[in-house]
Amino acid sequence: MKNKPIIIVPGEPNSIFFEILFKSLKTNIFKSPIIIISSVELVKSQIKKFKFNKKILLIKISELKNLQLSNKNINLIDINYKNNNKLKKTFLKSNIFIKKSFDIAFKILNDGFSNKLINGPMDKSKFLNKKFLGMTEYISKKFKVKKNAMLIYNKELSVCPVTTHLPLKLVSKNVNQNLIKEKVVLINKFYKEDIGFTPKIAVAGLNPHCESVLMFNEDQKIIAPAIKSLKKAGYKIDGPFPADTIFLKQNRKRYDVILGMYHDQVLSPIKTLKEYDAINITLGLPFYRVSPDHGPNIKMVNKNLSNPLSLIRALKFLDQK
């Protein structure tokens, strides 16, 4: 198949995902067929709610190799829960629903029928139940991938945290030279193979102004040596820079990626600068995994006011792969 299908796991049923998905699909700009893994009853209710005029085509995994898919219909793999009335009442809010959706998606990816996955937002604290830091780690574990990176990608400026969803008091204990180098290698590989050029990477320091009143300064003892080693190996990398100034206009225009030491150090600025115009890409997997850069946003459910731009960007990115 020339354009492998994009597999979509909507995630948390009580979220804005179907709203932004239908808004995205109405653009009719995607060539790759899209397969949604969800409940047919949920999808039907969402179609009615948002007045989406496409019909549902129910498909089975066993039929995928013989199907000629298009986006004239909603290609749906149904998560069946009709046999248990008690379960039916709570199923759509259950982790079982999300897990089963992912299990089916992983089987399709493992079988090689697709190499593209989008997952919608979810309440990670409930679904992951503190067993994983985030979805990056959850999906990586399922495919036995030990080296990964969370890249929040925008064609003008991207960011990547060295540590992801760690509590702040644990960040300094987990930052090390090998981890910094691991992220940079993955970022460089992605840009060269998928974007078409070698990126210029800036690294933010851990401490305010890259200074510390303590005897041990991570910026001098860990981050600076890692950067020096990477430079020597030929990477286009500079730093460490104070995190409070690296995102200034004259600084960020010099770089393609800013690598930070913890989640909010780089995600807060990029979301402020780009808002919905960015996507979350997991680097290091044997397939493309992308998610729109926003959460379930339960307060906006049923208001039909949510911005689909991040999902449109995610679909466009995968449509070219």
Q: How far is CA 70 from CA 1, 239, 269, 283, in A?
A: 12, 47, 38, 28
pLDDT mean over 25-43: 92
pLDDT exceeds 70 at position 295 = no
pLDDT digits (tens, 9 = 90+) for 179-230: 999 999 999 999 999 999 999 999 999 999 999 888 899 999 999 999 999 9
* Cis peptide upstream of residue 240 (ω within 30 degrees of 0): yes
- How confident is the model at residue 91, as a pLDDT? 47
Which residue is listed with tokens 């979350």? 280
- When computed from its CA atoms, the radius of gyration of the chain, rounded to whole angstroms, is 21
For the chain, the average pLDDT equals: 91
CB 30 within 8 A of CB 313: no
* Rounded distance between C-alpha atoms, residue 39 and residue 79, angstroms: 5
∠ CA(158), CA(317), CA(13), 5° rounding? 95
Instruction: Decide the pairing of beta strands 116-119 and 56-58.
Output: unpaired
Q: Which superfamily is assigned to 148-278 in CATH?
A: Isopropylmalate Dehydrogenase (3.40.718.10)
Domain parsing of the chain, residue ranges: 1-145+285-321, 148-278
What mean pLDDT do residues 79-101 have? 65
Going through 172-305 in order, the beta strands assigned E by DSSP cover 201-204, 237-241, 257-260, 279-283, 288-292
Q: Which residue has the higher pLDDT, 11 or 118?
A: 118
Architecture of domain 1-145+285-321: 3-Layer(aba) Sandwich (3.40)
Residue 86 has pLDDT above 60, yes or no: no
User: Fold identical between 1-145+285-321 and 148-278?
Assistant: yes
Position 305 scores a pLDDT of 75
Question: Is the model's pLDDT at 294 over the cut of 50?
Answer: yes
pLDDT tens, residue by residue, 115-132: 999 999 887 878 887 889
* Whole-number Å distance between alpha carbons of 171 and 78: 41
* Residues 123-150, mean pLDDT to the nearest whole number: 91
- Quick check: 16 and 306 in contact, CB under 8 A? yes
The per-residue pLDDT for 87 is 47
* pLDDT of 28: 85
In this predicted model, which residue has the larger pLDDT, 300 or 92? 300
Q: HSE on the CB side for 199, CA within 13 Å?
A: 32
In the structure, what pLDDT confidence band is assigned to residue 51 with cuts at 50, 70 and 90?
Answer: confident
Does residue 200 contact residue 254 with C-beta atoms inside 8 Å?
yes
Element (H, E) at 57: strand 56-58
Read off the pLDDT of residues 223-263 as tens digits, 9 standing for 90 and up: 999 999 999 999 999 999 999 999 999 999 999 999 999 99
What is this structure's pTM?
Answer: 0.92
Question: Looking at residues 51-64, what average pLDDT do you find?
Answer: 91
Long-range CB contacts for residues 87-91, cutoff 8 Å, separation at least 24: 91/39
Euclidean distance between the first and final Cα of the chain, in Å? Answer: 12
Q: Which helix (H) or strand (E) holds 119?
A: strand 116-119
Residue 93's pLDDT is: 59
Q: What is the pLDDT of residue 111?
A: 94
Residue 96: its pLDDT value, please?
85
Q: Which residues contact 297 (CB under 8 A, 6 or more apart)?
A: 15, 16, 121, 306
CA atoms 132, 136, 138, 143: torsion sign: negative
Q: Position 101: which residue type? A: S
Q: What pLDDT is recorded for position 213?
A: 83
Residue 139: HSE in the Cβ half-sphere, 13 Å Cα cutoff: 31
Please compute the mean of the pLDDT values over residues 138-147 and round it to a whole number: 96
Nearest to 312 by CA among 46, 26, 4: 26
Query: Does residue 264 register a pLDDT over 50?
Result: yes
| Cβ burial, residue 226 (10 Å; 0-12/13-18/19+) | buried
Q: What percent of the chain is predicted at pLDDT more than 70? A: 93
Q: How far apart are CA 315 and CA 30, in angstroms?
A: 7
Contacts of 39 (CB under 8 A, 6+ apart): 13, 78, 79, 81, 91, 92, 97
Examine the pLDDT at 1 and tell me if it is beyond 50: no
